[in-house]
């Protein structure tokens, strides 16, 4: 068994409830939403300050982060805004499909892609300068060092691991990850008639043993792919300190899935929670042997997103809710499995960290994908990216995307206390669970914030007269000191980042532009327009 580091989880005790009253502007019937004033037993584990982290396809590392002497200013500005709110920089995983064909060569410097005229990436080769660029990140940044399993050559993975150990500080290496999505390997990579969980686990164990022997880290950590777990929550094939999964709700590479990637489906709280439920058995399997479960790569629509869907403000609302549901995915199980100890599920069945994926179109990923690269094989940056790191013919100028503000709201939910827990608040029976989500945030077991998300669709093109929304009465939880921050845009379909704000400020060019807007909570009542989210600091 690989070395695992035990963790202690804080559990809270339920003590009292707070009534919150909500009403739709089109229907004045009063709706009561109960909020515990003290964190209940089924509250999440204490949130890690780097809970919201980033995965970036290694072939596009230079575009996103630059080199040691010329870092990408936009990327590091946007990352710093997140770190300023949590006290810790997002952790970074340079991983993805191009991990299959990456290799280290000491004769090289910066990463070099071998690309076809159509934009297909055959190989990404990197040298010492790749590791030197890691020095541009804040000291609080931890890295997942990804190793090539796809080429089926142990020497390649060994060279990558030994180079990371030689050129990085040991404190920078959080974990090694061997292989990316081994369950998706093609016939050119493995004999598919014999390749499965058992074969993968055997190879993974043999290779990691060999790498451990060659790389003398004091406490080597390994991510085991979720392909090494079974659907039986009582069994797990890979026993390691971390199990990782990939999660994309839809795919623009699969025509049937791409057809379902439409606004009403994506902007649906019930669909999102049902999607996250898929992970439950794997998380249970990982935790049955004391392992944490990490979502190492996720986003809304795989294969680089879907234009006019994932590059709009709606993606910000999806990301906000998806992060919260990854935190809570197994905590909600307790209401259905009352025989099991709620506190045990809260402690042991939890997602530890999520890495929101960033990248560009990969031509070899599928013959059916909707997205295309840029001219002459240049990167066609994924429309689900939080930002476009460089100017490009396909995506225009380098800039933050509308979804970026979601990371600011999420980072303020996590905060700096290192004591934050989150509770998903079930909507009342007469309020649609599809269109409304509410979360209580607790620090030191006390209710400190409320996050409200209104998923009802409101497009800027349909705006006429008063905008519809929800009016929420927060009862005795509010005070004269309570303030509200609003994540908003003219509509769900807004693509102009200059019009997308968090607390009145925009972040298009990396800096916070505009005056910070902290709204007072008058008469303990807040308004949440359709297609909008708010965070109330109590």
Q: What is the pLDDT of residue 494?
A: 84
> Mean per-residue pLDDT for 450-476?
80
Of the listed ranges 188-202, 424-438, 517-531, the least confidently predicted one is: 424-438
Q: Is residue 39 predicted with pLDDT exceeding 80?
A: yes
Report the mean per-residue pLDDT for the chain.
75
Q: 497 with 507: CB under 8 angstroms?
A: yes
Q: Which domain holds residue 527?
A: 17-44+419-537
> Mean per-residue pLDDT for 494-522?
95
Strands, E, within 229-360: which ranges?
242-251, 292-302, 351-358
Tens of pLDDT, residues 379-394: 888 888 899 999 998 8
Could you give the number of structural domains in the chain? Answer: 1
Q: What is the pLDDT of residue 109?
A: 94
Q: Is residue 347 predicted with pLDDT exceeding 50?
A: no
The H-or-E segment that residue 346 falls in is: helix 342-348
Q: Which residue has the higher pLDDT, 316 or 424?
A: 424
Q: Which residue has the higher pLDDT, 505 or 481?
A: 505
Mean pLDDT is highest, among 240-244, 275-279, 327-331, for 275-279
Give dist(CA 519, CA 207) in Å, integer. Answer: 55
175, part of any domain: no
Give dist(CA 301, CA 303) in Å, integer. Answer: 7
> Mean per-residue pLDDT for 439-468?
85
CB atoms within 10 A of CB 255: 12
338, part of any domain: no
Q: Which residue has the higher pLDDT, 352 or 333?
A: 352
Q: What is the pLDDT of residue 327?
A: 42
CA angle 315, 358, 433 (to 5 degrees): 30
Q: Is residue 293 predicted with pLDDT exceeding 70?
A: no
Give dist(CA 227, CA 205) in Å, integer. Answer: 13
494, part of any domain: yes
pLDDT category, 124, cuts 50, 70, 90?
very high
Q: What is the pLDDT of residue 25?
A: 46
Mean pLDDT is highest, among 3-17, 170-184, 421-435, for 170-184
pLDDT category, 183, cuts 50, 70, 90?
confident
Give dist(CA 418, CA 521) in Å, integer. Answer: 26
CA angle 345, 349, 351 (to 5 degrees): 140
341, part of any domain: no
DSSP string computed for 359-405: -B--GGG-SS-S----GGG---B-TT-SEE-S-BTTTBS-EE-GGGH
Q: What is the pLDDT of residue 120?
A: 77
Q: What is the pLDDT of residue 84?
A: 98
Domain containing 443 — which CATH number? 2.60.40.1180
> Mean per-residue pLDDT for 155-178?
94
294, part of any domain: no
pLDDT category, 432, cuts 50, 70, 90?
confident
Q: Which residue has the higher pLDDT, 262 or 162?
A: 162
457, part of any domain: yes
Tens of pLDDT, residues 51-87: 888 999 899 999 999 999 999 999 999 999 999 999 9
340, part of any domain: no
> Mean per-residue pLDDT for 232-255?
44
> Mean per-residue pLDDT for 318-333?
41
The H-or-E segment that residue 529 falls in is: strand 525-529
Q: 210 with 154: CB under 8 angstroms?
A: yes
CA angle 337, 343, 346 (to 5 degrees): 85
66, part of any domain: no
């Amino acid at each position: 068994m690989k070395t695992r580091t035990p963790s202690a989880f804080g559990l809270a005790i339920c003590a009292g409830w707070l009534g919150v009253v909500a009403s739709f502007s089109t229907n004045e019937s009063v709706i009561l939403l109960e909020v515990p004033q003290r964190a209940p037993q089924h509250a999440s584990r204490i949130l890690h300050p780097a809970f919201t982290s980033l995965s970036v396809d290694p072939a596009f590392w230079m575009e996103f982060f630059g080199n040691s002497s010329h870092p990408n200013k936009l990327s590091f500005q946007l990352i710093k805004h997140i770190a300023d709110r949590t006290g810790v920089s997002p952790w970074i995983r340079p991983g993805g499909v191009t991990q299959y064909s990456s290799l280290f060569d000491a004769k090289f410097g910066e990463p070099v892609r071998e690309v076809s005229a159509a934009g297909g990436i055959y190989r990404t080769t990197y040298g010492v300068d790749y590791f030197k660029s890691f020095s541009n990140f804040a000291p609080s940044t931890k890295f997942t060092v990804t190793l090539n399993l796809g080429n089926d050559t142990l020497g390649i993975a060994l060279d990558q691991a030994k180079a990371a150990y030689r050129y990085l500080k040991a404190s920078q290496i959080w974990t090694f990850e061997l292989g990316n999505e081994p369950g998706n390997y093609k016939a050119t990579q493995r004999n598919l008639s014999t390749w499965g969980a058992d074969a993968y686990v055997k190879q993974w164990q043999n290779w990691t043993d060999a790498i451990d022997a060659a790389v003398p880290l004091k406490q080597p950590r390994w991510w085991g792919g979720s392909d090494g777990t079974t659907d039986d929550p009582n069994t797990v094939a890979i026993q390691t300190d971390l199990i990782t999964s990939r999660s994309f709700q839809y795919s623009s590479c699969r025509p049937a899935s791409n057809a379902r990637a439409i606004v009403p489906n994506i902007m649906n709280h019930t669909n999102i929670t049902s999607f996250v439920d898929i992970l439950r058995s794997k998380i249970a399997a990982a935790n049955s042997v004391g392992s944490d479960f990490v979502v190492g790569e996720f986003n809304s629509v795989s294969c680089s997103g879907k234009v006019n869907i994932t590059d709009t403000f709606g993606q910000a609302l999806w990301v906000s809710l998806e992060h919260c549901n990854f935190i809570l995915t197994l905590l909600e199980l307790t209401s259905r499995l009352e025989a099991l100890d709620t506190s045990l599920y809260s402690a042991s069945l939890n997602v530890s960290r999520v890495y929101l994926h960033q990248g560009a179109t990969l031509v070899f990923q599928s013959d059916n994908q909707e997205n295309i690269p840029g001219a002459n094989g240049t990167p066609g940056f994924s429309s689900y990216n939080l930002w476009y790191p460089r100017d490009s013919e396909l995506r225009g100028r380098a800039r933050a995307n509308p979804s970026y503000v979601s990371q600011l709201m999420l980072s303020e939910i996590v905060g700096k206390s290192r004591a934050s827990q989150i509770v998903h608040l079930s909507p009342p029976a007469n309020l649609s669970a599809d269109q409304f989500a509410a979360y209580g945030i607790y620090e030191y077991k006390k209710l400190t914030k409320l996050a409200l998300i209104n998923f009802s669709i409101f497009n800027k093109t349909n705006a006429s007269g008063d905008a519809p929304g929800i009016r929420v009465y927060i009862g005795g939880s509010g005070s004269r000191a309570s303030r509200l921050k609003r994540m908003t845009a003219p509509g769900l379909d807004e693509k102009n980042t200059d019009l997308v704000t968090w607390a009145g400020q925009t972040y298009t060019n990396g800096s916070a532009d505009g005056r910070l807007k902290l709204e007072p909570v008058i008469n303990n009542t807040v308004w949440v327009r359709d297609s909008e989210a708010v965070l109330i600091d109590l």
